[in-house]
A and B are shown apart, each in its own frame.
Chain A
Amino acid sequence: MLKIADIETFYGPSQALFGVNLEVNAGEMVALMGRNGMGKTTTIRSIFGLTPASRGTIEFESQNLRRLPAYRIAKAGLGLVPEGRRCFPNLSVRENLLVTARPGEWTLEKVETLFPRLEERRAQMAKTLSGGEQQMLAIGRALMTNPRLLVLDEATEGLAPVIRQEIWRAIRLFKEQGQSTLLVDKSLSEILPIADRCTILEKGSTVWVGEPAALDSSVRDRYLGV
């Protein structure tokens, strides 16, 4: 479905990605892992054309995504939940959900059933929500665009444990429903039971790809330990 080969990305003169390879097949849940600053978010930004890759290939359902503007990439069927609870603070919850919606499986009712708090707060402005609720809104907003591939960048980072559980419950539901998902996260205990495959980045390169079962302590210590 999504196939990334040998992409290299620069921020101005400094190189951030030195050859990232990543593959997500239809219906799969793939985890993108690595320590801080290893290029996970840059990889996501490159996929969406926000920090365009200068070399390599990015293909989605055999369509070349490189050099496409961000809105065309999203239209091709990718949905992004960006890092850090990004919604539109001065618009209502409903506006956030409905304005960018595209028809499909995910409807307002389904999103509001998944996150009942969003239904309760539908007329409130997004900036009056708690951090956890804003993250739910950001996920809901991405779902409403009915992406064929959902990309979650650090969706549970810095949230209260109760809220994290609620979001992991949603992610497990995506897995059950066969929603193709690319997941950037650090909590191994949550990822390992649900991921189909893991890709580990170090210093801007893909260094390890495999099933969660193969991710033993030597790999963990080498690439994920702090």
Chain B
Amino acid sequence: MTNNTSLTNGASQAATADTALVPKTGSHFDRKGLVQMALLGLLLLVPVAAYFLGHIYYVNLASRITIIAMAAVGLNLAIGYGGMVSFGHAAYFGLGGYVAGISAYHAFDLTPFMTWPFSLPGSDSLLVVWLVAALLCALLALAIGAISLRTTGVYFIMITLAFAQMIYYFANSWPTYGGEDGLPIYIRNTLPLVDSSNALTYFLICFVGLVLAMAITSRLMKSRFGAALTMARLNDVRLATAGISPYPIRLVAFVISAAITGLAGALYADLNGFVSPNMLSWHFSGELMVIVILGGVGRLYGPLAGAVLFVMMETFLGGVTQYWQLFLGLVLLGVVLFAKHGVMGWLAGRERNE
């Protein structure tokens, strides 16, 4: 009892003693820390350099990587930390995208989104779009999660897929917002004070979004809630016999996960100036899963490493051959067989949760 005299009242301290919960995992300058800083540093520096060399294409490519990484950070919270293998995260990505698209459509047309029971105009403000996207995705995930989380295993995978497909076909067949042709965003939504239509500025916005999503995940997983989520993943019966129901813990994590992926979807629509049902398709859910697995399931930087690898392969190998996914398959096979903890596990070594 030397250096923890403050921890005298265990139970009431439980909520506040979070800093003591997690063992110290080395400095920022060990192998893992260096790999992570290098990854984040490159993601920031390359587009800045490309911008000043006049290669806008690469700035936008970096924005794409960043946004997809952010979507995967959301999914990683569900799959990696929560053990909830969602095969329907495209639903939130697409919903976020459609919020951006529909909002811009009405703002551009000067028509209201709805007139009854109250009049709701469109908006070209990114802040409004983000807020609405996050809230709607959270609500959708609350409904989908509340039902899906009553099942486990392969049934959970299938039911999340089924919900996402319902939304996909709904968007596909709703002519007001383009149906299967999608909906263009003619002018990128705006922020006060900064010029969001500038490629570098928009990249920096996405970069901040990614870093925030990772910071939220990290903070969450170091808290008592995060430890309980880990317990629910490792052994929900053992958690239940200690008096805590795993269900609401999982549901909250699922909702946060969906909100992060939804925000990424809104950023993605504004990056491309276009939103279509493709963002909602199960292919995209699968791609996100591949990215999480490539990078390292349950690793904070895994989704970023996975997204870099995936989008790079898609862009550069896809330019050489349309059969680039063959190589993606080989890489995925290699990771699953030889680097069980993904690219991050391979580069940075194993982590305490493995």
Given contacts A90-B352, A146-B11, contact A123 B243 (CB under 8 A): no
Given contacts A98-B224, A119-B1, contact A90 B10 (CB under 8 A): no
Residues of chain A within 8 A (CB-CB) of B243 are 71, 74-75, 100, 102, 145
Given contacts A90-B352, A99-B227, contact A108 B242 (CB under 8 A): no
Residues of chain A within 8 A (CB-CB) of B23 are 92, 123-125
Interface string of B52-69 (1 = CB under 8 A from A): 000000000000000000
Residues of chain B within 8 A (CB-CB) of A91 are 227, 230-231, 234
Residues of chain A within 8 A (CB-CB) of B191 are none
- Nearest CB of A to B297, in Å: 13
Instruction: Tell me whether A112 is interfacial, beta carbon within 8 Å.
Output: yes
Place the interface of chain A in its size category.
35 or more
Nearest A residue (CB) for B2: A119
Q: In the complex the two chains form, what is the Cα distance from A71 to B239 in whole Å?
A: 8
Residues of chain B within 8 A (CB-CB) of A80 are 241-242
Instruction: Tell me whether B283 is interfacial, beta carbon within 8 Å.
Output: no
Residues of chain A within 8 A (CB-CB) of B239 are 71, 100
* In-complex Cβ contact of A90 among B12, B224, B230, B240 (8 A): B230
* In-complex Cβ contact of A109 among B8, B240, B353 (8 A): B8
Instruction: Tell me whether A88 is interfacial, beta carbon within 8 Å.
Output: yes
Instruction: Tell me whether B300 is interfacial, beta carbon within 8 Å.
Output: no
Interface size on B, residues (CB 8 A): 35
Q: In the complex the two chains form, what is the Cα distance from A50 to B237 in whole Å?
A: 8
Given contacts A97-B10, A98-B14, contact A86 B224 (CB under 8 A): no
Residues of chain B within 8 A (CB-CB) of A48 are 241
Residues of chain A within 8 A (CB-CB) of B21 are 92, 94-95, 98-99
CB-contacts of B72-129 with A (<8 A): none
- Nearest CB of B to A41, in Å: 13
- Nearest CB of B to A103, in Å: 4
Interface string of B1-38 (1 = CB under 8 A from A): 10000011111111001001111100000000000000
Residues of chain B within 8 A (CB-CB) of A57 are none
Do A109 and B227 have beta carbons less than 8 Å apart? no
Do A89 and B234 have beta carbons less than 8 Å apart? yes
Instruction: Tell me whether B228 is interfacial, beta carbon within 8 Å.
Output: yes
Instruction: Tell me whether B219 is interfacial, beta carbon within 8 Å.
Output: no
Q: In the complex the two chains form, what is the Cα distance from A212 to B354 in whole Å?
A: 47
Instruction: Tell me whether B151 is interfacial, beta carbon within 8 Å.
Output: no
Instruction: Tell me whether A141 is interfacial, beta carbon within 8 Å.
Output: yes
Instruction: Tell me whether A110 is interfacial, beta carbon within 8 Å.
Output: yes
Residues of chain A within 8 A (CB-CB) of B353 are 90
Instruction: Tell me whether A101 is interfacial, beta carbon within 8 Å.
Output: yes
Looking at A88, A99, A112, which has the most chain B CB atoms within 10 Å of its CB?
A99
Do A101 and B14 have beta carbons less than 8 Å apart? yes
CB-contacts of A41-87 with B (<8 A): 48, 50, 69-75, 79-80, 82, 86
Q: In the complex the two chains form, what is the Cα distance from A183 to B235 in whole Å?
A: 24
Do A107 and B234 have beta carbons less than 8 Å apart? no
Do A94 and B20 have beta carbons less than 8 Å apart? yes
Instruction: Tell me whether A13 is interfacial, beta carbon within 8 Å.
Output: no
Given contacts A70-B237, A74-B240, contact A104 B231 (CB under 8 A): no
Q: In the complex the two chains form, what is the Cα distance from A91 to B234 in whole Å?
A: 10
* In-complex Cβ contact of B242 among A74, A90, A109, A119 (8 A): A74
Do B8 and A107 have beta carbons less than 8 Å apart? yes
Residues of chain B within 8 A (CB-CB) of A112 are 1
Instruction: Tell me whether B245 is interfacial, beta carbon within 8 Å.
Output: yes
Instruction: Tell me whether B333 is interfacial, beta carbon within 8 Å.
Output: no
Q: In the complex the two chains form, what is the Cα distance from A72 to B10 in whole Å?
A: 22
Given contacts A71-B243, A99-B227, A123-B24, contact A88 B1 (CB under 8 A): no
Do B231 and A92 have beta carbons less than 8 Å apart? no
- Nearest CB of B to A93, in Å: 9
Q: In the complex the two chains form, what is the Cα distance from A76 to B7 in whole Å?
A: 26
Given contacts A71-B245, A82-B241, A95-B22, contact A88 B11 (CB under 8 A): no
If A98-B21, A111-B10, A119-B1 are given as contacts, then 13 extra A-B residue pairs at C-beta distance below 8 Å, sorted by A number, are A69-B245, A71-B239, A71-B241, A74-B242, A74-B244, A82-B241, A88-B238, A90-B353, A95-B21, A97-B10, A98-B10, A124-B23, A145-B242
Of the A-B pairs whose beta carbons lie under 8 Å apart in the complex, a sample of 10, sorted by A's number, is: A71-B246, A73-B241, A88-B230, A89-B234, A91-B231, A100-B243, A101-B10, A106-B10, A107-B8, A123-B23
Which are the 7 A-B pairs with shortest beta-carbon distances? A108-B10, A107-B10, A74-B243, A100-B242, A123-B23, A103-B11, A70-B240
